[in-house]
């Protein structure tokens, strides 16, 4: 099965779209971008040249993904969240050669109306709260909220806040997966 696209979507030549991907109303998929298999691209989404989306990426309505952004597998981009790609934009100054790279790593979720300032990677399975403004790197499994975004905890791969015991161990209440907090970093141990 090839990808499917609504008739109102504009798909420029020179992009790669994986099998089973669905592209909805009023999207613009620009040349040179790569979209993996089984992605869902919501209504009114723009994917700029050279963007890379991995497998099973969910992009909700009204998201623009600008050149310089890479989303690994299983990333969730919430409604109307925003990426930037130039740190100091000016209308009269062409900075196309100065796009900063932002990598959203495997399994991360970015909430509705959040803003990711370019050049700050989002760690594996990190969880960015709705409306957060990310102005620095986000570690794996971190929960960040607010403006500017501050870390308030850690999340499981199933999206539950982890509660660590005195030994630094926690379990996801849904999956039973176990995690360890050591030296300010979280890793899954089982």
Q: 57 and 5 in one domain? A: yes
- For residue 76, is pLDDT > 70? yes
Q: Which residues pair with 181 in a beta bridge?
A: 186
| Structure confidence at residue 148 (pLDDT) | 98
Q: Which CATH number fits the domain that encloses residue 172?
A: 2.20.70
| Structure confidence at residue 1 (pLDDT) | 64
| Structure confidence at residue 173 (pLDDT) | 97
| Structure confidence at residue 190 (pLDDT) | 86
DSSP string, 70-113: EE-TT-EE-TT-EE---SS-BTTB--GGGPPPEEE-TT-EE-TT
Q: 167 and 150 in one domain? A: no
| Structure confidence at residue 154 (pLDDT) | 98
Taking all residues of the chain, what is their mean pLDDT, rounded to a whole number? 97
Q: Which domain holds residue 174?
A: 159-190
Q: Are 86 and 102 in contact (CB under 8 A)?
A: no
- At a CB cut-off of 8 Å and minimum separation 6, what does 190 contact? 177, 178
pTM of the model: 0.97
Q: 34 and 66 in one domain? A: yes
Q: 14 and 104 in one domain? A: yes
pLDDT: is 97 or 160 the higher one? 160
Rounded average pLDDT over 133-148: 98
């Amino acid at each position: 099965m090839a990808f499917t696209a609504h008739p109102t979507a504009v798909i420029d030549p020179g992009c790669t779209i994986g099998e089973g991907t669905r592209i909805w109303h009023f999207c613009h998929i620009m040349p040179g971008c790569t979209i993996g298999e089984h992605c869902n691209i919501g209504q009114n989404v723009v994917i700029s040249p050279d963007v890379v989306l991995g497998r099973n990426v969910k992009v909700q309505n009204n998201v623009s993904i600008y050149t310089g952004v890479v989303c690994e597998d299983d990333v969730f981009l919430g409604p109307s969240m925003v990426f930037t790609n130039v740190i100091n934009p000016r209308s009269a100054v062409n900075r196309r050669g100065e796009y900063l790279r932002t990598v959203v790593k495997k399994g991360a979720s970015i909430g509705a109306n959040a803003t990711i300032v370019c050049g700050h990677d989002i760690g594996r399975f990190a969880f960015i709260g709705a409306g957060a403004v990310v102005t620095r790197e986000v570690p794996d499994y971190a929960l960040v909220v607010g403006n500017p975004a501050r870390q308030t905890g850690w999340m499981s791969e199933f999206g539950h806040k982890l509660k660590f015991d005195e030994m630094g161990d926690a379990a996801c209440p849904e999956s039973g997966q176990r995690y360890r907090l050591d030296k300010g970093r979280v890793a899954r141990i089982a």
